[in-house]
Amino acid sequence: MTPPSAVSSGLRPIGKLAAATGVKVPTIRFYEQIGLLPAPPRTASDRRMYDDGAERRLSFIRHARQLGFDLDSIRSLLDLSDHPDRPCAEANVIAESHLADVKQKIAQLKALQHELSRMTAECAGGRVSACKVIEALHDHAAAL
């Protein structure tokens, strides 16, 4: 049971933090282990107890992950966030680098879409021996 002092001080256990942020308990523990989320204070019975700052930080991490930022980039962005008087140019560099990666992936996906469209459009729906999908998969040199 959560101690009354923890409830009145705004602290909550890991399960409530997970529910509030949509991040699973093992993921929260992982983020603590790798240093993205600081280790929280613990109760006398060794339960982790989190404050509003931990919730904000975890929400930041979750949103950054949803946008596809890798953990190293998130670590850098969190460091910048922890020092609000620093210039934001470094954050912009990180975001621009990620944007370039996203554009490259989009180009790869468009090429994949084109190849799959070509393969399926050429399929006559007959026997596998004449199937253009199977033929294209065997002829990987002609693909992407």
Residues 12 and 72 in one domain: yes
Q: Quick one: pLDDT at residue 38?
A: 95
d(CA 105, CA 101): 6
pLDDT surpassing 90 at residue 1: no
Shared domain check, 107 and 140: yes
Q: In terms of C-beta density within 10 A (0-12 exposed, 13-18 middle, 19 or more buried), how is residue 100 classed? A: exposed
**Rounded distance between C-alpha atoms, residue 38 and residue 111, angstroms:** 42
Q: What is the pLDDT at residue 9?
A: 61
43-98 pLDDT, tens digit per residue, is 999 999 999 999 999 999 999 999 999 999 999 999 999 999 999 999 999 999 99
Domains in the chain, number: 2
Are both 79 and 124 inside the same structural domain?
Answer: no
Q: 30 by DSSP, 3-state: which? A: helix
SS3 of 135, please?
helix
- Final residue before a domain boundary, out of 36, 61, 86: 86
Co-location of 112 and 123 in the same domain: yes
